[in-house]
Amino acid sequence: MVCMENIKQLCYDNKIILAPMVRINTLPMRLLALDYGADIVYTEELIDHRLIRCYRKVNETLQSIDYIDKSDATVVFRTCSREKAYVVLQIGTSDPERAAKAAQVVEQDVAGIDINMGCPKDFSLKGGMGAALLFNPDKACAILSAVVSAVKIPVTCKIRVLEDIDDTVALCKKLAATGVAAIGVHGRIIKERPIHPNRNHFIKAISEALNIPVIANGGSKEIKAFEDIIKFKNVTGCSSVMIARTAEKNCSIFKKDGKLDLFTVIRDYLHHAVDYDNVAPNSKYCIQNMLQNIQETEQGRLFLESTSLQQICDLWELGDYCRQKQKKMNYLRFEERDVACNDQKRIKQSSADEEESNYVNSLKCMYIRSLYPRPEDLPKTKLLNWAKKHNKPLPKYHTEQFEKLFKSTVTFDNQKYSSSFWEKNKRWAEQGSAIVCLHYLKVYDIDYMKINGILG
């Protein structure tokens, strides 16, 4: 086997790897896999268009590197020094030029680039990405060649097999000729799912035909313990093994001395989720995939009802740890949102013109969902009840949109109130304006807002 190993480059030979999984392979899961013994960790698939839209930010608060979508301040990719030498970013693409450009955007912060050529989902297929590239080998090779030429780090691709073994081997030879460092092979065709057997003999044939590392994937049904990883490697004759579903259920499969109990794994995961400010829906999704039928327990039921990372952490005895960390992180969100749009001057001028022509009581404050666990605690609900109690006209909201961000103004008792902080959706923007109004009504004081990280 030829292994592209030197001081700077990642080696794909004789490795155990966390396979790319949509919504699973965010930073907390990748770090957890490294903690437990994985040699390489792949990101979830990130679409080229989104990566090209990103700007790079050194996040001093989290000690991370963030790639943030300029249009809505969404963190598309977050990484850190701990994983830099081991993380491979997977790109979803159908165009050589875009693929190369996206790879260059993140090149300095990852160890490798992978091109997704195996995803069977409709979204990928209709866009000419993922497994669609298997049936357009000229384009597949053009994409790989473009990326290999564009970056100085190793480039790989991950495929599914074709129905014919000889056709699959021939395709892999073409892909290998582009200069890729390794090829990952999922041993199922596009229409097959985990219930179907993995075509291990296809992977073995590819391994024997290529002189670059071949990474076997699709064996999770056969992998229940660490020893099974080695068996799968031997059966496929491959250089390395890539694990998806088994790792998704219990990431400690990478531990040579045996798996840990799920309670411990979830706590370890949550530590990383809190430390790197992972969004609650993503953290909940990852834990839900770990729990499986345990969701039927009392703790599982409470977990399913949770809506914030704090509530999830409370269930695993990490609530105080989460609260302390998140207060610091709220200030970071103000800074990120301030540069969310390409034309900040236009936003500021728009707001200034509005306030000059029609005076608005304004503060820069953020709506933080976790601060309002009960429906009656929500700022809009609290303001509505205040109006009814004091026999005032009901509040009316007007919301403006700039690209993917929103700012709302509430008119109440002949006065207007608004937050200068642009939110990611209309509902949150309305809640933000209600917070400002409640402050002027002396329901929320400045100390309350500062302590909870609401005020920017």
pLDDT in tens, 398-426: 999 887 789 999 999 999 999 988 888 89
Catalytic residue among 80, 119, 172, 286: 119
pLDDT in the model for residue 147: 98
Say yes or no: domain 359-452 is CATH 3.30.160.20: yes
Top-confidence residue, 345 or 221: 221
Domain(s) of CATH 3.20.20.70: residues in the chain? 15-256
Does residue 341 carry a catalytic annotation? no
- Distance CA(410)–CA(321), nearest Å, equals 35
Domain(s) of CATH 3.30.160.20: residues in the chain? 359-452
Count CB-CB contacts under 10 A for residue 349. 11
- Distance CA(214)–CA(212), nearest Å, equals 6
Between helices 262-275 and 280-291, what is the axis angle to 10°?
170
Beta-ladder partners of 216: 185, 241
Topology of the domain covering 15-256: TIM Barrel (3.20.20)
With CA atoms as reference, report the closest residue to 225 among 194, 198, 246.
Answer: 246
* Tokens describing residue 107: 């090149």
Residue 401 belongs to what H/E stretch? strand 396-402
pLDDT in the model for residue 331: 63
Q: Is the pLDDT confidence value at 22 over 90?
A: yes
Residue 110 belongs to what H/E stretch? none
pLDDT in tens, 73-121: 789 999 999 999 999 999 999 999 999 999 999 999 999 999 999 999 9
pLDDT in tens, 225-274: 999 999 999 999 999 999 999 999 999 999 999 999 999 999 999 999 99
